[in-house]
């Protein structure tokens, strides 16, 4: 869920329009803030051991009245950390400020550290002749690694693409009293 919300925030920031509407920026930052807050709550739950039961109802509604397992709908700590770092990077992004752009790039590279370690774990597991039980675990599933790499490529593309001028909007011109 956090990857899709961050992808939508990225799409709103990187929309190919000549003049970005302020509501796009506000909605994008709101999505990034929501992901940041949820990831922070999840990490605090893992660190303290105190569970917020209302989040179970929000993320995993159960109409049967049975108790759901602890942390059933929660992301792993690795996924929550990566989402928190990507959300903070999107909150830092500003195309005009050079120090914010540099901080944004550093935040994205730090966010890509856990998926990279998990990817190396999968490569070692694939190439290793030992049993799968002793293989290193990266804390992220293979699909999460691929999604975070795709999100990271798009987010890093913001820093490169922010210098590219937006396409011009073609409008009819009035020449000699008539529209051309």
Write down the pLDDT at residue 13.
83
Asked whether the beta carbons of 118 and 145 are under 8 A apart, the reply is: yes
* 49, part of any domain: yes
Tallying the residues shown for the chain, one arrives at 180
Give residue-wise pLDDT tens across range 19-28.
677 788 889 8
* 166, part of any domain: no
* 179, part of any domain: no
* 153, part of any domain: yes
* 178, part of any domain: no
Asked whether the beta carbons of 39 and 2 are under 8 A apart, the reply is: yes
* 172, part of any domain: no
* 155, part of any domain: yes
* 54, part of any domain: yes
Phi/psi at 178 (nearest 5 deg)?
-130, 155
Asked whether the beta carbons of 176 and 32 are under 8 A apart, the reply is: no
Q: For residue 85, how many C-alpha atoms fall within 13 Å in the half-sphere facing its CB?
A: 20
Give residue-wise pLDDT tens across range 113-127.
999 998 888 888 888
Give residue-wise pLDDT tens across range 4-23.
899 888 888 887 766 677 78
- Does the pLDDT of residue 159 top 90, yes or no? no
User: What is the total count of domains within the chain?
Assistant: 1
Give the residue numbers spanning the domain of 121.
Answer: 2-161
Candidates 35, 106, 135; CA nearest to 75 is 35
Element (H, E) at 23: helix 22-48
Residue partners of 163: CB distance under 8 A and separation at least 6: 95
**CA 23 remoteness from chain centre:** 20
Candidates 55, 117, 125; CA nearest to 82 is 117
Q: Give the position of tokens 């020449």.
A: 175
């Amino acid at each position: 869920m956090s990857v899709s919300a961050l992808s939508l925030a990225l799409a709103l920031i990187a929309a190919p329009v000549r003049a970005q509407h302020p509501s796009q920026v506000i909605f994008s930052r709101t999505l990034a803030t929501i992901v940041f807050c949820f990831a922070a709550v999840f990490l605090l739950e893992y660190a303290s051991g105190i569970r917020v039961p209302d989040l179970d109802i929000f993320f995993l509604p159960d109409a049967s009245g049975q108790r759901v397992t602890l942390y059933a709908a929660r992301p792993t700590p690795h996924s929550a950390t990566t989402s928190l770092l990507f959300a903070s990077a999107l909150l830092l992004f500003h195309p005009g400020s050079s120090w914010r752009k540099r901080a944004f790039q550093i935040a994205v590279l730090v966010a890509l550290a856990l998926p990279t370690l998990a990817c190396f774990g999968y490569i070692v597991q694939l190439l290793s002749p030992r049993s799968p039980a002793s293989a290193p675990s990266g804390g992220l599933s293979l699909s999460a690694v691929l999604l975070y790499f795709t999100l990271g490529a798009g987010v890093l593309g913001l820093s490169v693409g922010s210098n590219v001028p937006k396409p011009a909007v073609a409008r009819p011109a009035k020449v000699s009293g008539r529209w051309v």
